[in-house]
Structure 1
């Protein structure tokens, strides 16, 4: 037999052919045997687990000329006609392309007529969650009081999108992912029947890639068999599916273990030249370190179907602590979310690997605490100085204790909610209680003397109008360049433009601070230059400050300023004030200088 039709040839034709759904099969067979078939069923579960196949087998079983029987004979005219799709009384509808109310009304009009060829009319609606609300309403009455000769079988991968009124009128069956041993055994049986010699490691690898879907596993087997012919090896399976070979895993893991960031770049470049996908490589690497973690924490569990040399794999697991593996997986998972939307996925992959190269053992702290300490200030001990990690944790704890004492003193004297500060008058020095509000609290961002006066005067100028007219175009270009920067910038609104500088007002402090980061600012200013054909700078301000300044002059003692990032700048405020703002936010911290 040609391998081109491998999946179609092995599609289940009886309940006994199905894999991994024994509890559902037994329930349906008992219902048929006892003639207690329901008028509506809901089959839900992951893709490729047999929902539509079970629906067709059910239609054959209840309409078999030798039945109704727990298993269809697949020999009578009814069974063969349903298999071929020529029986008009068994209708399969794809709700993704027939999702409107007109299609459902057509069904509602036809169900009143008795079947002409078989015992029951069966309507199989696949991807039923795609129906519109109006279509669900039209279907509801028919499901509630259907004729005795009609059976509805609804199939979906997303049952949470179905109205509760629909679900309550159906018998619901949850199809589960097929286990790895069951998938591997079925693939072995297929290869045996088709005369294909396949390594056990190759079949286990394909089963793991299918993510619990038997259909995907057979499709992958068909793809690999088309490449390898009558013999399938693990290397063939890895090459065809775009995965990483065991040797490539080991080389990357060795570089990460030794903290050798210099060895990462040529390895990644070699993978890219071999046609590997950066996001797929990153995904496989997460699986690799996950398996190292499983071997370390649960040695008796087999979790390394991708690797043939088990002893080398265990030796690699011994080189990492469980805490370090936890933090590395967390970091790689964060970059996994970014790489899908990145314009330079290879660079993201390289940065992710170099980042995990810097992860060191935390000296006994929990994984969560160590990860938080690393992300909060990138203050982990440098590579090669693992002994410094306990001292670093101790220093951080001392700093936290000191900060807590200062915050306690601050709460008794100087910190009040913003509403109270607004009603307070100027202090003895002539300054209002909101003297620090609106200052950027990120490290390295200092307070500059750029005044808002010129921008207030240019708020209605022609230049400002041009920026506002083309702002949607600017946002779209930023989105195309980097969608994460667009997510922050979209919170801002251009309020003025003067001297080749665009002032953007933000409602959210975090959005503003993230936009001000050097890499993000450089990207936005590059887009501005493309749009206007000349260098244009970006300046930011909080919307509250802009609106306050727009209503009237600022207090004479302290003019309103906007914040811009300066290389090497240091905050003018005391460190304990900076920490208080980081903990409570700009709007809740007011310093009263008595």
Structure 2
């Protein structure tokens, strides 16, 4: 047989012919045996692992004249015609070229008709992730409630691009990359049947190049067998696939080890003269150093040998490098491989990568890694020291406030006055923040966070004014996004929960989002938008969702007859809207922040 059609000749025709997907085969066979077939399947996984093949085998199994059977006979008229694609009721569609809504509508109109040639209609949609949004919407209803005589099989390499509504209506099967040992065994079987002489090292090299895809492995074997005239050797496989000879890898590694820039440039020139591409050469060189590292760290591991062959030669080459330097070289080559994708002159980038390795031996990469690992530790130490200083400062303030008789709750957010959720750290009004700062007796240099009582928001929750104000929140969010998208990104974590006294209370799931939203510049943007949307000056107050839930639970448990503590209310004495700060200071000193409410009438 000519070698030009190996894959077509060896394409699986039954479930038992499929390699590396036993978990899927067993599940489908049990479903057929127990008559529990689904109306829709989703086959996802890497290319060349048998998704479309499994779909055709399943179509034959359910429509076999001797079945439904766990294995199609491939002898009856239905099986043979489905294999050749001559059955109108088994339709294979390439969604990459038929991705529009009209093609899917055509399917939707035809599924209602009963099959005319076989037992069950089967629609195989390959590369289904290429369908448009409109096509998915047209397919959705049909997938949800198809007729009993119809089966859909969707195949894709990128299941993450499918809408969740489509995935939820299918039984999903994840096809795996075929293990190296099973690929080599299958290739050896094919070579035996086809009369091809193949070295085990060459078959292993082909299997590694295929990256777990059995289809690619058979195609490579076909290509190499044609190139070598039926004698598949490792050297012939390397030449046919455009790889680099093992001795060239060794010479390149020696040049890097000895920091011989001239030798490295000669090797690069030889590669380019042979027609190799710079990016592929860099990729293969990185794999070679990876194999050297494995030869050092895991010499006895199964499958540890890489694409370049002899494990003994790898171990000998690796003996000239330390583990740290091998790690550094791999990291260095990987970074340059990423940069090479966007380079106008890839060969120049390849040369620079090797010259840098030859000039400093990868010390830069090692130093960069050490610096990167040391930076988090230094940052953590600085944060710890700063926190310790803040705690010491708070302790001094509490001691001073205790001596002056001011309530401990005025000293910070963590005092006893916070218990029960009656007050939350938020952005209250500027009026409260002025009084709070004054209540600290002037000892605190940094301004304290303004605080606001939750009780007014609990009382106003569900009122007409609150519902009207909160109903305009989506409009406010859109305005914030238009004005400053970064502020919108932080604010989207919050949820408006109440509105009272011209203040919108927003509950956040994450404390980081809350703290960033409260920054003066961000708060100014949000309050400006709220004032514009609601038509009156409006302020923002924030808290965490768990604090709001605790406040709601506390209000429910206490009942409507809960007595409010007596408070001292201070009003302006001159009618101009400005408050007498000395009077406020004295009130806070005598009664404490918990019992003082500053109110403007």
TM exceeds 0.5? yes
In structure 2, what is the equivalent of residue 502 of structure 1?
none
Q: Which residue of 2 aligns with 1:323?
A: 324
Say whether the 8 Å CA contact 1:178–1:212 is kept in structure 2. Answer: yes
Counterparts of residues 253-268 of structure 1 (less than 5 Å): 253-268=253-268
**Correspondence for 1:556:** none
1:291 and 2:288 aligned:
no
CA-atom RMSD, angstroms? 2.6
1:328 to partner: Cα distance: 1.0
What pairs up with 1:413-492 in 2 under 5 angstroms? Answer: none
Provide closer, same or farther for how the CA distance between residues 50 and 132 of structure 1 changes in structure 2, counting only shifts above 3 A: same
Match of 1:351 in 2: 352
Q: What residue is the counterpart of 1:221 in the other structure?
A: 221
Question: What 5-or-longer segments of structure 1 have no aligned partner?
Answer: 377-392, 413-594
Counterpart in the other structure of 1:150: 150
User: What are the equivalent positions in structure 2 for 1:355-374 lying under 5 Å apart?
Assistant: 355-360=356-361, 370-372=367-369
Cα separation, partners in 2 of 1:331 and 1:369, compared to 1, 3 Å: closer
Kindly provide the CA deviation profile for residues 282-329 of structure 1, in whole angstroms up to 9, marking residues without a partner as x.
111111111111121112114224344332211211211111111111
| Aligned position for 2:269 | 269
Aligned residue in 1 for 2:117:
117
What's 1:10 paired with?
A: 10
Between structure 1 and structure 2, the one with the greater Rg is 2
2:329, 2:365 within 8 Å by CA — same for their partners in 1?
no
**1:369/1:231 CA distance change after superposition, 3 Å:** closer
SS in 1 for 2:173: strand
Separation of aligned partners in 1, 2:280 and 2:309: 20
Please, what TM-score do these two structures have when normalized by structure 1?
Answer: 0.62
| Cα offsets for 1:427-460 (capped at 9, x unmatched) | xxxxxxxxxxxxxxxxxxxxxxxxxxxxxxxxxx
Displacement after TM superposition at 1:370 (Å): 2.6
TM-score scaled to structure 2, two decimals?
Answer: 0.61
Deviations 1:125-164 (A, max 9, x none): 0000000111001000000000000000000000000000
Contact 1:49 1:215 in 2 (8 A): yes
Paired position in structure 1 for 2:106: 106
- CA–CA distance in structure 1, aligned partners of residues 239 and 342 of structure 2: 25
Match of 1:337 in 2: 338
2:179 aligned partner: 179
Aligned to 2:486: none
Following superposition, the deviation at residue 220 of structure 1 comes to 0.7
Other structure's SS at 2:326 match: helix
Secondary structure at 1:155 match in 2: strand
* Inter-partner Cα distance in structure 2 for 1:293 and 1:370: 19
Relative distance call for 1:261 and 1:169 in structure 2 (3 A) is same
What's the CA shift for 1:34?
A: 0.7
Structure 2: state its 5+ residue gaps.
391-601
Q: 1:35-46 counterparts in 2 under 5 A? A: 35-46=35-46
Q: Matches of 1:309 and 1:84 in 2, distance apart?
A: 44
Deviation at 1:372?
Answer: 3.9
Contact 1:201–1:305, Cα closer than 8 Å, also in 2 = no
DSSP-derived class of the 1:332 partner: helix
Partner Cα separation in structure 1 for residue 184 and residue 205 of structure 2: 9
SS at match of 1:177: coil
Matched, 1:25 2:22: no
Once residues 28 and 382 of structure 2 are traced to their aligned partners in structure 1, the CA distance between those partners, rounded to angstroms, is 63
**1-structure distance, mates of 2:97, 2:38:** 27
Q: Distance in 2 between matches of 1:369 and 1:270?
A: 29
